[in-house]
Amino acid sequence: MGRRKPLGSRFVASDLNFNTIDSTVASKEGETVKLRQARTEPIGRIARIQNDFSRRRRRIQLHIKNPKKRAKKLKETRGRQRNRIRDALQKLSAEQVRENPGASFVFERLTRIRENDNAKSKKLRTYLNRWPYRMYQSMVEYKSTFRTVYVSPGGTSSRCPVCGGKVRHPAWAVSRCEKCGADYGRDRLSSLEILLRGMRLCGQPFAVSADASWRLMRDEYLYAPAVPDGWRAGWTEAANAPNGNVYENIHS
Ligand SMILES: [Zn+2]
């Protein structure tokens, strides 16, 4: 384990999605924490590797009749997929750490979800089968100079940052507040929620609705129908197709 790393002076709270990493960036100012930025980074390259290998496996299933030969081919393919994904995640995590100097990363703790059938978030379970988020988190944690904060995973609803009303997160990209009717981009709002949970955990609570930086930032969280590539992507049929449990043993 070694010595515990110190907290950074900045926080990057990320919601990990199939095609994007949605983050809220905040920084410490004395005793308070100010929101700085909300962003959506496309990570389609990971999804492409997964889809590519899914297709390859299907082709092998279809065309190789000999069961022994087929099993061998499938095993080889799995190994190659693991290596490709590991390389891609090494690159991605290195980029994230390099581009966010001084930052503590905040993630949802994902380890238990797979075992928990009653997990609140179907979304998270779907993701877990698609790309190895946990591995990505470990790589970031390892490379970062500062402490990585893990918060408990959220449910299917959270609080509206404006009025405190209940916000539902459907499978679709819009999260609507039941009280004031504000429409938020689901994934960015999730990253804000992850940040808030992380700050509470670190003993630096702050009320978003009372915070001046939130007022400046608010538009960045509102749902925008005309959006760049990658924002809403990821919920195609291909994205939800089973990809096999190739990562089950990746950490063992
Ligand atoms: Zn509201």
pLDDT tens for residues 137-192?
999 999 999 999 999 887 666 778 778 788 887 667 888 888 888 888 888 988 99
**Is residue 160 a part of any domain in this protein?**
yes
What's the gap in Å between 32 CA and the centre of ligand 1?
23
Q: What is the pLDDT of residue 171?
A: 63
Residue type, 150: Y
**Is residue 4 a part of any domain in this protein?**
no
What's the gap in Å between 184 CA and the centre of ligand 1?
10
What's the gap in Å between 133 CA and the centre of ligand 1?
30
What's the gap in Å between 178 CA and the centre of ligand 1?
7
**Is residue 247 a part of any domain in this protein?**
no
What's the gap in Å between 217 CA and the centre of ligand 1?
15
**Is residue 113 a part of any domain in this protein?**
yes
What's the gap in Å between 183 CA and the centre of ligand 1?
9
**Is residue 46 a part of any domain in this protein?**
yes
Tally of structural domains, the chain: 1
Entry pTM: 0.79
**Is residue 44 a part of any domain in this protein?**
yes
Quick one: residue 18, left, alpha or beta (phi over 0 = left, psi -120 to 50 = alpha)? alpha
**Is residue 137 a part of any domain in this protein?**
yes
What are the pLDDT digits (tens) for 59-113? 999 999 999 999 999 999 989 998 999 999 999 999 999 999 999 999 998 765 4
Host domain of residue 180: 10-240
* End-to-end C-alpha distance for the chain, whole angstroms: 18
The sign of the CA dihedral 111, 114, 116, 121 is positive
**Is residue 103 a part of any domain in this protein?**
yes
